[in-house]
Amino acid sequence: MERILVTGGVRCGKSRWAEQTMLELGTSVTYVTPGYPAEPDVDPEWAARVAAHRLARPASWATVETVDVAAAVRAEPGPVLVDCVGTWLTRQLDAVGWDTPRPVVTSELERRIADLALAVAEHPGPIVLVTNEVGWGVVSEHASGRLFADLLGRANQALGAVCDDVVLLVAGRALHL
């Protein structure tokens, strides 16, 4: 195993599949998560999900919470699991500004996507990236939803191009593309 992009819909088993794949290595893993901090007093349901996720990981795995996923990938020579690219993209859009003119935000995000893809391509150890598939249904009536779908599609294509395998999860079943 070298570089794998795991994609699929919401709650299809992507994270579980990625974690199981890394467990099979029998070694410690750096788990990179770009999600927002879990604040039980703000969102108890989200905090419970994050806590359950952490408890399911082996104690030998290190967790790195960061917005700069490319730097985290570059900093770790061993196995890395990134969960999830969609969350990373959301945080990048938050930083650039959802209301920034589309050509500007698109240009900046494409630069950041290219940097992440390069970090993945150059990573010397095994790496698994979890992402989402969006846009398999109705096109969003909101500009922000369309922007997110467009950029995540570009990110998935860029990452898929540098990965050795792309795995689509559907109902907990893995399809190697």
Match 């959802």 to its residue by tokens: 98
Whether 34 contacts 88, CB under 8 Å: yes
54-72 burial, b at 16+ Cβ within 10 Å, e below that, comes to: eeebeeebeebeeebbbeb
Residue extents of the structural domains in the chain: 3-176
pLDDT in tens, 31-87: 999 977 778 898 899 888 888 888 888 989 999 989 999 999 999 999 999 999 999
In the block, residue with structure tokens 């922007």? 147
Q: What is the CA radius of gyration of the chain?
A: 16
Q: Which residues are catalytic?
A: 53
Alpha helices (runs of H) in 24-142, residue ranges in sequence order: 44-56, 69-75, 85-96, 102-122
Element (H, E) at 168: strand 165-170
Domain 3-176, what fold? Rossmann fold (3.40.50)
Q: What is the pTM of this model?
A: 0.92
Beta bridge partners of 64: 32
What pLDDT is recorded for position 42?
87
Which residues, in sequence order, are CB contacts of 65 under 8 Å at separation 6+? 33, 34, 35, 37
